[in-house]
Homo-oligomer: A and B are copies of this chain.
Amino acid sequence: MHPFSERLRAKIVERRTPTLVGLDPRAESLPEGLLPWAEAASWAQRAEAFGKFCRGVIDVVAPLVPAIKPQAAFFEQLGPAGMAVLAEVIEYGQKNGLLVILDAKRNDIGSTAAAYAEGMLGRESAWRADAMTVSPYLGVDSLQPFVDVAVERKAGVFVLVKTSNPGGVMLQDLQCDGGMVHEHVARHVERLAAETKSECGYGAIGAVVGATYPDQLAELRERMARAWFLVPGFGSQGGTARDVAGAFDSRGLGAVVNNSRGIIFAHRREPYASRFGSARWQEAVEAATLDMIEQLRADTPAGRLDKS
């Protein structure tokens, strides 16, 4: 198996888009019929519906995009049954040729961090994702076990650097000696990325950098030249293709741009709602995915992927 950074590059070039589809299933937003009487459904029924829905999304997007990003929280909310379905969804995605980035934002210290890394990325674990997200608050020694497992397993790790939510500013943009907090984290991520660099120029350790701060995004691209970016905040959170243009290198590589609700629940919003409605929700997913691919092609360096 090739390192995650190489597999991500190859998949992006093959699909000619850096579109990442986020799987954030919510009982109340599922297409009609998938979970009748959502309010009265048991956890097991909800878990089953989440599995069915996510497999339905994967069926549509697998030929179109390089990767999916299941959000652990929504599965975990359903208890062990939800966590079992999460494993099935990850496996289904991988069998259909997608890379799977598990959005878990885990973090701890020493052997506890290693347990999280082994649990989510390990070869014998239940989930076996290709990459996962982690939080940096516990500092450098909390990140190392994730790095070690990622290198050994040829997996990827995306460290939260600059998140897309407005309240993140409180901590991440504090002005410190040597730059803002997120710039300190960025420096460490770049070091880890450089240490794990593969042929494509990027490393096993990447960064989560939100679409909602376009100027910082471009600045951070320069500061973390070896780190793949996972860019949330596109679509529902207000980020546009122009906003994320700074995340890419001149080849159109270096970033994946996530859209969750905007794609998976496209049947609930215009223009897709009136074109397809709930019954044809998979066509709505396809149309929304193709539109996002088109926007990224038109307004970002990802348009150059056609030529690679």
Contacts and interface: CB of A to CB of B under 8 A. Distances in A.
A185 B171 contact: yes
A21 to B, nearest CB: 16
Interface in A101-117: 105-113, 115-116
Interface in A59-108: 71, 73-74, 76-81, 83-84, 87, 105-108
A77 B170 CA distance: 32
Contacts of A166: 141
Contacts of A108: 71, 73, 105
A214 interface: no
A103 to B, nearest CB: 8
A154 B107 CA distance: 26
A174 B181 contact: yes
B170 A109 contact: no
Contacts of A26: 111
Nearest to A120: B76
Interface in A231-264: none
Copies in the complex: 2
B76 A87 contact: no
Contact of A163 (B109, B169, B174): B109
Interface residues of A, number: 62
A107 B105 contact: yes
A119 B76 contact: yes
A111 to B, nearest CB: 7
Interface of A: 24, 26, 43, 71, 73-74, 76-81, 83-84, 87, 105-113, 115-116, 118-119, 122, 124-127, 135-142, 144, 160, 163-172, 174-178, 181, 184-185, 188
5 nearest A-B pairs in the assembled complex, by CB-CB distance: A79-B126, A141-B167, A139-B167, A77-B119, A73-B115
29 contacts: A24-B112, A73-B106, A73-B113, A74-B115, A76-B115, A78-B119, A78-B126, A79-B83, A79-B84, A79-B119, A79-B125, A80-B83, A105-B106, A109-B163, A109-B167, A135-B138, A137-B168, A138-B171, A139-B168, A140-B170, A141-B168, A142-B167, A142-B168, A171-B181, A174-B174, A174-B178, A176-B176, A176-B177, A181-B181
